[in-house]
Amino acid sequence: MSVSQIIRLPPLPSIRDLIKLYKLRAMKELSQNFLMEPRLISRIVRSAGSIKDCEVCEVGPGPGNITRSIIQNMPSRVLIIEKDKRFTPSLELLAESSPVPLELIFGDVMNFNLEQMFNEDNKMEWEDKCPQIHLIGNLPFNVSTPLIIRWLKAISERKSAWRYGRVRMTLTFQKEVAERMVAPIMTKERSRLSVMCQNWCRVEHKFNIPGRAFIPKPNVDVGVVRLTPLKKPIINLPFDIIEKVIRSVFSYRQKHCIRGVETLFPKPVREQLASELLIAAAIEPSTRPFQLTVSEFGRICEAYMSICKEKPDYMKYNYREQKSDENWPDVKINNSDSSENI
Ligand code: SAM
The residues of the chain scoring below 50 in pLDDT are 1, 3-4, 330-342
Per-residue model confidence (pLDDT) at position 308: 96
Per-residue model confidence (pLDDT) at position 335: 37
33 Cβ inside 6 Å of ligand 1: yes
Q: How far apart are CA 54 and CA 104, in angstroms?
A: 17
Alpha helices in 64-113 (DSSP H): 65-72, 88-97
Q: What is the pLDDT of residues 108-148, one digit of tens each?
A: 999 999 999 999 999 999 999 999 999 999 998 889 999 99
Distance (Å) from CA 303 to ligand 1 centroid: 42
- The b-or-e profile of 67-103 (16+ CB within 10 A means b, else e) is bbbbbbbbbbbbbbbbbbebbeebbebbbeebebebe
Q: What is the pLDDT of residues 195-209, one digit of tens each?
A: 999 999 999 999 999
Distance (Å) from CA 16 to ligand 1 centroid: 16
Residue of 18, 83, 173 best suited for mutating to test ligand 1, as the one with most atoms within 8 Å of CB: 83
Per-residue model confidence (pLDDT) at position 31: 64
143 Cβ inside 6 Å of ligand 1: yes
Per-residue model confidence (pLDDT) at position 144: 93
Please give the single-letter amino acid code of residue 83: K
**DSSP strands (E only) in 31-76:** 34-35, 55-59
- Of the candidates 75, 49, 43, 78, which has an alpha carbon nearest to the alpha carbon of residue 61? 78
**ipTM of the prediction:** 0.99
Q: Looking at ligand 1, which atom is closest to the CA of residue 140?
A: 9
Per-residue model confidence (pLDDT) at position 339: 26
To the nearest whole number, what is the mean pLDDT of the chain?
A: 90
Q: How far apart are CA 82 and CA 285, in angstroms?
A: 47
User: Which are the contacts of 175, defined by CB distance < 8 A and separation ≥ 6?
Assistant: 208, 220, 221, 222, 223
User: Which are the contacts of 152, defined by CB distance < 8 A and separation ≥ 6?
Assistant: 196, 197, 199, 200, 201, 239
Which strands form 222-229's sheet, in the order they lie side by side?
A: 102-106, 77-82, 55-59, 133-137, 168-174, 222-229, 201-209
Is the bond preceding residue 131 a cis peptide, omega within 30 degrees?
no
Question: Does pTM surpass 0.80?
Answer: yes
Q: Looking at ligand 1, which atom is closest to the CA of residue 61?
A: 1
Are residues 99 and 126 in contact, defined by beta-carbon separation less than 8 angstroms? no
Helix, strand, or coil here: 214? strand
